[in-house]
């Protein structure tokens, strides 16, 4: 990485939050992936904007990372910069029936804050291991709940053309978008299709009984522990649910329960999860994903779509 870029970054970010050649396996739930040239931990919108301006001017490819629970990073790592807000841009505020959280806040903490204030609606999110930013991009959901049902508005940073910044000029604008205009769909949203960076979101919830909310969360957590291979690194469901069916059922029917390549395996506990059994590379995980898609297509005529996002490849 160009020394000038690093010198510039040091003006907007403390040095201990500028990491060079940072192994991405430390930041992804699959526990695979090579080093990112630059790994930047921002703690405020001002820092984020400063970092983005410098990276853009220097034309450094830039990737955003939440808690890394839905991504697979190339074994070769990432040529460019990874920016994360999960360290300190994670404030949560409760006011009346609304909860506002910053992009780096873990969903589990947001759901817990809602519960502690007797607010119902986010129980489904308590066991999803991602951050708010990743959850908005993915319209994360579980057990009949999804972001779409509870998000009142999302505040984002959008890149727009700036007429006063020369030929390559773009600038970042903060916009607040109502939930109904977020184009939330199954594991997608307008952030995924149009780009942009989630800064924060506000949830509109309802008053509920704290004991009932806690009991529902515990019930869903028990269902997860019972059905999902939580003891192994993974990115949760590897494939999207095909219409009218389940990826896990199709994979099992194709005879792939326990199928493995290198250290990656179709979970024996839940066929919809590809897991890292130990020592897997991202190439192993990708090879299992490709083999599963091909075999399921042969046996059922259905082409599974990946839910996991590939980063740096
Ligand atoms: C054991 C396990 C269980 C899971 N169960 C579920 C489940 O029940 N339901 C479900 O929906 N998902 C589930 N997941 C998947 C994952 O937790 C969700 O998709 C989650 O929303 C991803 O959030 P993240 O912060 O980890 O995002 P990351 O994986 O870090 O990133 C995902 C995408 O979001 C982008 N992104 C991250 N932050 C921002 C931001 N601030 N602005 C714009 N883009 C951003 C990244 O660039 C990337 O493209 C599970 C994963 C695991 C490991």
CATH no., domain 92-226: 3.30.465.10
Position 161 scores a pLDDT of 61
Q: Burial of 186 by CB count in 10 Å (0-12 exposed, 13-18 middle, 19+ buried)?
A: middle
Task: Look at the block and give the residue holding tokens 């529902």.
Answer: 216
> Could you tell me if the CB of 191 is within 6 A of ligand 1?
yes
Phi, psi for 127 (deg, rounded to 5): -100, 5
Position 3 scores a pLDDT of 84
Q: Taking the CA of residue 157 as centre, how many other CA atoms within 13 Å lie in the half-sphere pointing to its CB?
A: 19
Active-site residue, 257 included? no
Ligand 1 centroid to Cα of residue 71, in Å, is 7
Q: Are 139 and 186 in contact (CB under 8 A)?
A: yes
Position 167 scores a pLDDT of 43
Position 165 scores a pLDDT of 45
Two tokens at 63? 């990737």
SS3 labels along 232-268: CCECCCCECCCCCCCHHHHHHHCCCCCCEECCEEECC
Position 87 scores a pLDDT of 81
Position 168 scores a pLDDT of 52
Q: Where are the domains of the chain?
A: 3-84, 92-226, 229-311
> Could you tell me if the CB of 82 is within 6 A of ligand 1?
no
Position 86 scores a pLDDT of 86
Task: Give the mutation target among 67, 109, 128, 311 for probing the ligand 1 site: most ligand atoms within 8 A of CB.
Answer: 128
Q: Please measure the distance between the N-terminal and C-terminal CA atoms of the chain and give it in whole angstroms.
A: 19
Active-site residue, 93 included? no
Catalytic option among 187, 190, 277, 293: 187
Phi, psi for 94 (deg, rounded to 5): -115, 130
Give pLDDT < 70 ranges for the chain.
161-169
Phi, psi for 221 (deg, rounded to 5): -65, -40
What class has domain 3-84? alpha beta
Return the residue whose CA atom lies nearest to atom 27 of ligand 1.
134
Two tokens at 28? 């992804």
Catalytic option among 131, 189, 237, 282: 237
What residues contact residue 157 under an 8 Å CB cut-off, 6+ apart? 45, 48, 49, 52, 172, 173, 174, 196, 197, 199
Q: What is the tens place of the pLDDT at every residue in 240-264?
A: 999 999 999 999 999 999 999 999 9
Dump strand ranges (E) for 105-244.
Answer: 119-120, 141-142, 145-146, 151-161, 170-178, 197-204, 206-207
The residues with which 155 forms a beta bridge, in sequence order, are: 176, 200
Task: Look at the block and give the residue holding tokens 């979970």.
Answer: 267
Q: Compute the distance between CA of residue 104 and CA of residue 48 in angstroms, rounded to an integer.
A: 12
Q: What is the tens place of the pLDDT at every residue in 191-212?
A: 999 999 999 999 999 999 999 9
Active-site residue, 277 included? no
Q: Are 226 and 295 in contact (CB under 8 A)?
A: no
> Could you tell me if the CB of 141 is within 6 A of ligand 1?
yes
Cα 45 versus chain centre, distance: 19
> Could you tell me if the CB of 66 is within 6 A of ligand 1?
yes
Q: Are 21 and 37 in contact (CB under 8 A)?
A: yes
CATH no., domain 229-311: 3.90.78.10
Q: Compute the distance between CA of residue 291 and CA of residue 285 in angstroms, rounded to an integer.
A: 10
């Amino acid at each position: 990485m160009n020394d000038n870029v690093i010198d510039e970054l040091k003006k907007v970010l403390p040095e201990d939050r500028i990491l060079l050649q940072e192994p991405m396996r430390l930041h992804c739930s699959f526990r695979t992936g090579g080093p990112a040239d630059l790994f930047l931990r921002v703690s405020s919108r001002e820092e984020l904007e400063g970092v983005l301006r410098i990276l853009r001017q220097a034309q450094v490819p830039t990737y955003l990372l939440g808690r890394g629970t839905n991504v697979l990073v190339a074994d070769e790592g990432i040529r460019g910069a990874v920016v994360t807000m999960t360290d300190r841009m994670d404030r949560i505020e409760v006011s009346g029936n609304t909860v506002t959280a910053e992009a780096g806040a873990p969903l589990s903490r947001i759901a817990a804050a809602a519960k502690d204030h007797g607010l119902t609606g986010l129980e489904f999110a308590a066991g999803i291991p991602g951050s708010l930013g990743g959850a908005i991009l993915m319209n994360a959901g579980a057990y009949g709940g999804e972001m779409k049902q509870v998000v009142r508005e999302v505040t984002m940073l959008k890149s727009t053309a700036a007429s006063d910044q020369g030929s390559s000029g773009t600038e970042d604008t903060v916009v607040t978008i109502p939930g109904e205009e977020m184009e939330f769909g199954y594991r997608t949203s307008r952030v995924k299709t149009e780009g942009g960076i989630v800064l924060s979101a506000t949830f509109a919830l309802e008053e509920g009984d704290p004991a009932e909310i806690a009991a529902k969360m515990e019930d869903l957590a028990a269902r997860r522990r019972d059905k999902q291979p939580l003891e192994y690194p993974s990115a949760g469901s590897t494939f999207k649910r095909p219409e009218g069916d389940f990826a896990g059922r199709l994979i099992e029917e194709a005879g792939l329960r326990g199928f493995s390549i290198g250290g990656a395996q179709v979970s024996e506990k839940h066929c919809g999860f590809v897991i890292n059994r130990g020592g897997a590379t991202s190439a192993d995980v990708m090879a299992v994903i490709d083999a599963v898609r091909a075999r399921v297509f042969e046996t059922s005529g259905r082409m599974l779509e990946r839910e996991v996002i590939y980063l740096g490849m």
